[in-house]
């Protein structure tokens, strides 16, 4: 476990680049991490997904799977891949300051 | 009389019925178990059928043979689970009330959920070994298959037995070598995972093993559709993999009746506490085995360890005590790797599979995360243990919770 300073804030992060304390997250951090993930401009659709993931994780204690996101937001999997290319659930979890989704065990 | 109702007489349901019938006082409790099918399938055996190692009779027995005296078995499909009213309506017209409900309705494959998969070519150039019928059909198909590109694709996780796809490919490597046609066969594994397995150390180790055996891994392949005419699978990110024979592990979902009852998640698996199996919605409903939405492997060994820890915890709960967080996600899986060898992995929620010896530290006889002949015999012996010990809810001389003894963490 290590710490990292992003967008002027020091946060805890694991080896895979996932934040380990969701309460340290800010929207500025999201924008910065998104940039590193190849998404320089987050639009309203991106934020809709990020906000869903944040609120879902607050109640469930874990990152939602891709299927959970598409079921809840009404976005198709295809649209999710367009918004967050290459592993949407993982990417959005990272940007949202949440742990790696547990979909695969 | 207090009523315990178990839905599903598969691996978890049968083990729970056996264990609880011993733990609960028969003068106070009436245990009923419901299932629609007479036959119990040894699902781990499906893997061996396509290669002719097991035949049909190795994997089927009547469910009734495994029901303890005093447990009432009802053969019927389930119409509706009405958890608010503490009752279940059956397709045969009966309505069963309960004080406690255990949902053990398992997981099944849904090929029609992927466009192009479960259509005209299903059972021809598209096959599966994730069902009894599928495994038997694939055996017939492989008998006369001339060779080509065999692509194994996992549609989406979680699936039953996450190591089975790897075992299938390693057994295929052995099978085609024995037939003298390995040079005519390409083996490709297209998986949504970033590597061969879900846990980093095992993924690396198993990845190496696949490379040695000439099996190509296509990672992060999230299938969108099959093009059965062009014989290719297409991913959401436009990646394509062509095949001559597609062996599919279709989407795995829980029972539809669970979803209709509002008790399931988006895949119809039941959200429960991962240490106690108590439903997050109802204080008298539990889910065991594949039906439960817990971050543990959907595997018989997990169901066994789960039921073993669940039994006494359940009794305590019915006596008004709080449930203890006893289940640690323990899984113990033999991985058949072909040519008379196998591996063994032992892990839980917090500890990934590590190398070492099992169950006796330094001695084994089984080797963890390393190929050996002993592991292969362990895997074959497991069938006997399943029918004679596990299903009957008897205890193994192994701890239900994972132990670090005998494992090397570095």
Cβ atoms of residues B296 and B351 within 8 Å:
no
Question: Same structural domain for residues B34 and B79?
Answer: yes
Cβ atoms of residues B289 and B267 within 8 Å:
no
Question: Same structural domain for residues B91 and B142?
Answer: no
Mutation target to probe the A interface, by most A beta carbons within 10 A, among B107, B157, B201, B301 is B157
Q: Indicate the residue among B290, B318, B346 that finishes a domain.
A: B318
**CB spacing of A105 vs B162 below 8 angstroms:** yes
Q: How far apart are the first and last CA of chain B?
A: 54
Residues of B in contact with A68 (CB under 8 A): 265-266
DSSP string, B142-184: HHS---EEEEEEE-SS--BSTTHHHHHHHHHHHHHHHTT-GGG
pLDDT recorded at residue A2: 86
Question: What element of type H or E holds B259?
Answer: helix B256-260
Question: Same structural domain for residues B198 and B245?
Answer: yes
CA B60 to CA B79: how far, in whole Å? Answer: 26
Q: What is the DSSP letter of B386?
A: I
Q: How confident is the model at residue B286 (pLDDT cuts 50, 70, 90)?
A: very high
Q: How confident is the model at residue A1 (pLDDT cuts 50, 70, 90)?
A: low
**Does B300 map to a domain?**
yes
**CB spacing of A86 vs B265 below 8 angstroms:** no
- How large is the average pLDDT for residues B309-313? 96
Q: Does A1 reach chain B within 8 Å, measured CB to CB?
A: no
**CB spacing of A67 vs B158 below 8 angstroms:** no
Residues of B in contact with A77 (CB under 8 A): 222, 224, 236
Question: What element of type H or E holds A72?
Answer: helix A66-73
Question: Same structural domain for residues B117 and B221?
Answer: yes
φ, ψ for residue A33 (rounded to 5)?
-65, -40
CA A40 to CA B337: how far, in whole Å? Answer: 45
pLDDT recorded at residue A32: 96
Chain A residue at shortest CA distance from B235? A78
Cβ atoms of residues B331 and B297 within 8 Å:
yes
Q: Indicate the residue among B205, B226, B252 that finishes a domain.
A: B252
Question: Same structural domain for residues B191 and B214?
Answer: yes
pLDDT recorded at residue A81: 93
**Does B399 map to a domain?**
no
List CB contacts of A41: < 8 A, sequence separation 6 or more.
none
Q: How confident is the model at residue B228 (pLDDT cuts 50, 70, 90)?
A: very high
- Among A68, A78, A105, the residue with its CB nearest the CB of B236 is A78
Q: How confident is the model at residue A104 (pLDDT cuts 50, 70, 90)?
A: low
Question: What element of type H or E holds A71?
Answer: helix A66-73
Structural domains counted in chain B? 3
Average pLDDT over chain B reads 95
**Does B408 map to a domain?**
no
Question: What element of type H or E holds B102?
Answer: strand B100-103
The alpha carbon of residue A8 is apart from the nearest alpha carbon of chain B, in Å, by 31
- How large is the average pLDDT for residues B132-155? 98
Question: Same structural domain for residues B198 and B70?
Answer: no
Length of chain B: 410
pLDDT above 70 covers a percentage of chain B that reads: 100
B142 torsion bin: left (phi>0), alpha (psi -120 to 50), beta (else): alpha
Question: Same structural domain for residues B13 and B59?
Answer: yes
Cβ atoms of residues B96 and B12 within 8 Å:
no
**Does B165 map to a domain?**
yes
Question: Same structural domain for residues B28 and B96?
Answer: yes
**CB spacing of A68 vs B265 below 8 angstroms:** yes
**CB spacing of A81 vs B237 below 8 angstroms:** yes
Question: Same structural domain for residues B200 and B312?
Answer: no
- How large is the average pLDDT for residues B145-161? 96
What CATH number is associated with residue B201?
A: 3.50.50.60
Domain boundaries, chain A: 2-95
φ, ψ for residue B103 (rounded to 5)?
-95, 120
Instruction: State the residue range of the domain holding B281.
Output: 2-108+253-318
CA B340 to CA B266: how far, in whole Å? Answer: 40
- Residue B235, pLDDT > 80, answer yes
Length of chain A: 105
**Long-range contacts, B307-310 (Cβ 8 Å, 24+):** B307/B12, B307/B15, B307/B16, B307/B19, B307/B393, B308/B19, B308/B395, B308/B400, B309/B400, B309/B401, B310/B16, B310/B19, B310/B276, B310/B277, B310/B286
The alpha carbon of residue B297 is apart from the nearest alpha carbon of chain A, in Å, by 6
**CB spacing of B222 vs A77 below 8 angstroms:** yes
Residues of B in contact with A81 (CB under 8 A): 222, 236-237
Q: Does A71 reach chain B within 8 Å, measured CB to CB?
A: yes
CA A20 to CA A18: how far, in whole Å? Answer: 6
**CB spacing of B158 vs A104 below 8 angstroms:** yes
Strand A9-13 to A2-6 pairing: antiparallel
**What would the pLDDT profile of A44-89 be if each residue is shown by its tens digit?**
999 999 999 999 999 888 899 999 999 999 999 999 999 999 889 9
pLDDT recorded at residue B198: 76
Chain A / chain B CB contacts < 8 angstroms:
38
CA B214 to CA B187: how far, in whole Å? Answer: 7
User: Which SS3 state, helix, strand or coil, does residue B76 take?
Assistant: coil
**CB spacing of A71 vs B266 below 8 angstroms:** yes
Cα R_g (chain A), whole angstroms: 13
Burial environment of residue B195 by CB neighbours within 10 A (0 to 12, 13 to 18, 19 or more): middle
Question: Same structural domain for residues B278 and B378?
Answer: no
Q: Indicate the residue among B252, B271, B304 that finishes a domain.
A: B252
CA B379 to CA B338: how far, in whole Å? Answer: 12
Residues of A in contact with B327 (CB under 8 A): none
Cβ atoms of residues B246 and B125 within 8 Å:
yes
């Amino acid at each position: 476990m290590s710490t990292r300073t992003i967008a002027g804030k020091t946060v805890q992060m694991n080896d895979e680049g996932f934040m380990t304390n969701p309460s340290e997250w800010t929207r500025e951090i999201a924008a910065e991490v998104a940039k590193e993930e190849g998404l320089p401009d987050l639009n309203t659709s991106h934020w809709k997904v990020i906000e869903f993931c944040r609120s879902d994780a607050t109640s469930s204690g874990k990152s939602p799977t891709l299927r959970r996101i598409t079921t809840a937001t009404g976005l198709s999997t295809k649209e999710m891949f367009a918004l967050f290319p290459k592993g949407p659930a993982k990417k959005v979890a990272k940007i949202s300051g949440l742990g790696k989704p547990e979909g695969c065990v | 009389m207090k009523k315990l109702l178990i839905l599903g007489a598969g691996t978890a349901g049968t083990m729970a019925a056996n264990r609880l019938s011993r733990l609960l006082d028969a003068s106070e409790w009436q245990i009923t178990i419901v299932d629609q099918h007479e036959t119990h399938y040894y699902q781990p055996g499906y893997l061996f059928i396509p290669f002719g190692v097991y035949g049909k009779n190795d994997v089927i027995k009547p469910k009734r043979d495994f029901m303890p005296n005093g447990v009432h078995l009802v053969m019927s499909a389930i119409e509706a689970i009405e958890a608010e009213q503490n009752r279940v309506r059956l397709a045969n017209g009966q309505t069963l009330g309960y004080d406690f409900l255990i949902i053990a309705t398992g997981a099944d494959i849904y090929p029609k959920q992927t466009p192009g998969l479960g259509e005209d070519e299903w059972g021809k150039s598209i096959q599966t070994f994730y069902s009894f019928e599928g495994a038997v059909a694939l055996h017939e198909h492989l008998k006369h298959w001339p060779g080509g590109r065999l692509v194994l694709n996992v549609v989406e996780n979680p699936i039953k037995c996450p190591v089975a796809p790897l075992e299938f490919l390693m057994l295929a490597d052995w099978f085609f070598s024995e037939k003298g046609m390995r040079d005519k066969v390409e083996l490709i594994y297209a998986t949504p995972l970033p590597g061969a397995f879900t846990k980093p150390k095992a993924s690396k180790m198993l990845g190496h093993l696949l490379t040695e055996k000439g099996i190509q891994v296509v990672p992060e392949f999230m299938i969108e559709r099959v093009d059965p005419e062009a014989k290719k699978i297409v991913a959401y990110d436009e990646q394509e993999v062509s095949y001559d024979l597609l062996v599919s592990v279709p989407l795995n979902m829980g029972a539809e009746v669970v979803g209709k009852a509002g008790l399931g998640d988006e895949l119809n698996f039941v959200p429960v506490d991962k240490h106690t199996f108590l439903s997050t919605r109802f204080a008298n409903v539990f889910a065991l085995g594949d039906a439960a939405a817990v971050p543990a492997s959907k595997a018989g060994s997990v169901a066994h360890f789960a039921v073993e820890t669940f039994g006494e915890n359940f009794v305590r709960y019915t006596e008004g005590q709080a449930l203890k967080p006893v289940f640690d996600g323990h899984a113990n899986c033999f991985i058949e790797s072909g040519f008379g060898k196998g591996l063994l992995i032992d892990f839980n929620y917090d500890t990934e599979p590590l190398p070492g010896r099992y169950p006796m530290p330094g001695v084994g006889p089984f080797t963890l995360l390393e190929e050996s002949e002993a592991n292969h015999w362990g895997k074959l012996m497991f069938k006997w243990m399943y029918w004679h010990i596990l299903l009957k809810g008897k205890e193994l001389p192994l701890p239900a919770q994972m132990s670090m003894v005998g494992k090397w963490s570095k």
